[in-house]
Each structure stands twice: as structure tokens, then as C-alpha cells.
Amino acid sequence: MRILFALLIYNLVLYSALAIAVLSSPFIAYRIYKTGKYRESLFRRFGLINDNAPGISKDDKVIWLHAVSVGETLATIEFQKKLKLAFADYKLLFTVSTETGFAVARQKCKSADAILYFPMDFHFSINRFMSRFNLSAIILTETEIWPNLLAILHKKNIASFIINGRLSERSYKNYIKYSFIFRPVFSLLSSCMMQSALDAERIIAAGADAKKVIVAGNIKYDEIKSYMNIDSAGVYEKFGYGPRDLIFVAGSVHPYEDEKVVEAYLEVKKDHRALKMIIAPRKFDKINSLFDYLSLRGIKYEKRSELVKTSSRPSCDVMVLDTVGELVKTYLLARAVFVGGSLVDTGGHNLLEAAVFKKPVLFGPYTHNFKEMAAGFLESGGGILVKDENDLASKIKHLIEMPEDEYRELSDRAYNEVAKRTGASDKIILCLQSSLNFVIIMLNLLDFI
């Protein structure tokens, strides 16, 4: 009864929102036309357009793996390879929610037998999507909770797993606030494999069965391992820089934060005229505000996308990384690295992406999405906390001017933070094998009875 009540309330809100969207459709259509956003994905996610999945037939047993966007997609690449090896008799269906994620998946996810858009959480969208496949299980990355989807899977006796599970403080508070909806929904999950003990505690408090929750670690760390033996010369050549270039990389920078980063760069450049900057904005739909600010401050810059089109090398001191899937490699080029989303209250981003190249990592005080990781970096000395743009400028100068032996010591400490966090993929695969085999045995037993 609790799940029926939860779904009733949820669907009243969901379908009311759909009705409002239909009434607002002329305005929405205009916005899509003007911005281009959702132009490709909207009808597919509603189930009004069904793309072909030639790599999967109707009779194939299918494991469905879902990641939201670019970061989650990239994090699953090595995991997908291991999943295919462990479940050789199954086809792998991979879905994403965003258009940027879809583009990256088509380019990078070679282990997937089909790549499609994830259906919206409406009954008609889900049922039309699922009717095409002989699904054995769905694996949701991070903590993607869709009540209608999970209810339909449960009704059809299809196993549902969360891997790489994480509940930010904000998400956790919302799940608790609306526990009358989400507590029964969490109980539908077959297993939850969480990143940390804190995440495990939170998802149990939100309603997941404690017996089905384990701490497995973060598969993003395993994906980062693939960069440990990268061809450095090839990366320099790819981006058009040389080992002697003095470069500051600011990654995953958010609106308003980008202005702080630019000001810090300009301050450091007063003493280090050769300093170059690669700045990677997190929000591409807000990227024009960064271009405007650079122009306002009289800074000549180049877009990475234009350099790629013309096969040109950088000629300006500032490059804006407006391409997808290239950020991690740029960290290799840097003397100083700042990981964004941390000087503004958005929760921070993955520090390991820079640390894997033995770079000490600068980050701001807002790291609540990576609380355990940030604390580990600060404790070991592989990370350096900055309070504001003035402090950021001071710490960049400190890293540039630091004696090489001290820099190497900090670099090694940062690298050790990566090394001690790997192995999650193997643990998750073992748990999936055990759980899925158990589910299949139980379903066969039910059929026999």
C-alpha cells in the first residue's frame, strides 16, 4: 500500500507537470529552436521516436547500463569492458540522458552493443522503450532514482542495481524531506553499491534495505587508472604545447567562478609573463558569459574547437576548452591545476583527474559532493585549499616558484590519493554476478512453482 500511495502522489505531480509543459509547448518549442537544446533528445526520451538498436535482437538477453551525462559516461568505459567479459552471454545496452553525454558515448563506448537515450519517467515512455528488449537487469550509475521505472521493473521481476552510488547532502535532504514518496521506492532496488560508508548510511536512512547495501567504492577511480601510463608526448602534440610551456589549467569552472579564475590568472601573470591558461567551463550553455568577460578584461583567447577545425596550434596565452571529453588530458600539461565548482557553492568536482598526472590540486571550500576525497587530499598534502581569487593567485605562484624537490613531494602525495582508491569495478562485478545469479535462480524457482 505504501508504494501505491507513493506512486500516486509522484504521478500526480509528474503528469501535472507534463500537462503544464503541453500547454506551454509553443514557448518550449521556441526555446528549443533558439538554443538548440533538447532538439535531438526530447522526442526520443518521450518515446515518440525509437532509434534502431541493430546490435541487439529481440531474443538476446540484455543488461541495461545507464549514465546521466558526460562525466558518468566516461567513468563507465573501463567498467563496461569488464561487464562484457563477466557477462559474455548478455548484450550491453547503454543509455544516457543528455545530448553531450550521447555524443561522447557514441565516440567512446565501444563495448556497448547499442547506445540510446534514456526514457523519461512516464509509463508510456518506459513501456515503449522496454518492449524492444529482453531485459535481465538494469544498472543505474550514481543515484538515479526514477519511481515509475523502478516500479515497472519490480513488477516484471527485472533486477535493478545502483552502482557508484552517491547521495550528496542536498539530495539526501530532499529524499528525507519527501520520504513519503521515496522511502518505498528505494526499497524496490535489488542492490545498492555505494561509493563510501557515508553514502551507504544515507541511502539506508532514505529507505533502502540495509541488507542490500554495500560499500564498493567509486568506478571513476578505476577509469582514471587508464591515464597512469599515457603517452605524454602525444598529449603535448595533441594540444599544441611543449614541455617547457608554463601552463595553469582551471577545470570544470562554473559561471561567476570563471571570473575569479581569470582575475587570479591575471594577477599571477604580472610576475610570470610566460604563463598560459587553459580554462574549461562546466556549463557550455553559459559559455558566452566567459567569452564576454575575457573580452572585457582585454584578454586574447582561442577556442579549442576552432583550433581543432583548422588543425592549428595555440597562438594566444589563453585557450578556452569548449570541447567534450578532453579536460582530463589537459591536466597533464599543467604546472598548477585548479578544480572548479569549489569557489562557488556547487559542491566541487573530481580531484583525482588531475592527481593521476602527479599534479598537486588547488580547490575551493565548497567540496561537499566530494567531502571524503577533499579531506583525504588536504590531510595528505596532495591538495591545497584556496579561499578566494586572491588566495588562488597566491597558491598558483607558490606552485610555480616552488623548488622542484618540494613540488615532486606534493605531486607524489596527490598521486597516492589515486592509487589507494582503485579496485571498485572488480568488486562491483563480483557483486553483480552474485546478485544476478541469485535473482535468476529465484525467478526460475517461481516459474517452477
Question: Grid coordinates in use for 156?
Answer: 516484471
84: pLDDT strictly greater than 90: yes
Query: pLDDT above 90 covers what percent of the chain?
Result: 72
DSSP element (H, E) containing 260: helix 257-269
Average pLDDT (123-140) is 95
Average pLDDT (166-187) is 92
Per-residue model confidence as pLDDT tens digits over 404-424: 999 999 999 999 999 888 889
Average pLDDT (340-346) is 97
Distance in angstroms (rounded) separating the CA atoms of residues 117 and 107: 15
Highest CATH level, class, for 2-217+423-434+443-447? alpha beta
**Three-state DSSP class for 57?**
coil
Tell me how far the alpha carbon of residue 193 is from its chain's centroid.
17
Average pLDDT (385-401) is 98
In the chain, list all ranges with CATH 3.40.50.2000.
230-419
With beta carbons less than 8 A apart as the criterion, state whether 105 and 96 touch. yes
Question: Grid coordinates in use for 376?
Answer: 583525504
With beta carbons less than 8 A apart as the criterion, state whether 149 and 126 touch. yes
Tell me how far the alpha carbon of residue 350 is from its chain's centroid.
9
DSSP state of 119: P
**β-pairing verdict for 134-141 and 114-117:** unpaired
436: pLDDT strictly greater than 80: no
Query: pLDDT above 70 covers what percent of the chain?
Result: 94
449: pLDDT strictly greater than 70: no
Indicate the Cα dihedral angle 380, 421, 415, 335, nearest 10°: -100
* Mean of pLDDT over the chain: 91
Per-residue model confidence as pLDDT tens digits over 26-53: 766 656 656 666 777 788 888 888 888 8
Average pLDDT (250-265) is 98
SS3 readout for 266-306: HHHHCCCCCCEEEEEECCHHHHHHHHHHHHHCCCCEEEHHH
Domain 230-419 has CATH 3.40.50.2000: yes
In the chain, list all ranges with CATH 3.40.50.11720.
2-217+423-434+443-447
Q: What local confidence, expressed as pLDDT, does residue 120 receive?
A: 94
**Three-state DSSP class for 94?**
strand
Q: What local confidence, expressed as pLDDT, does residue 372 receive?
A: 85
Distance in angstroms (rounded) separating the CA atoms of residues 366 and 364: 6
Flag whether the pTM goes above 0.95: no
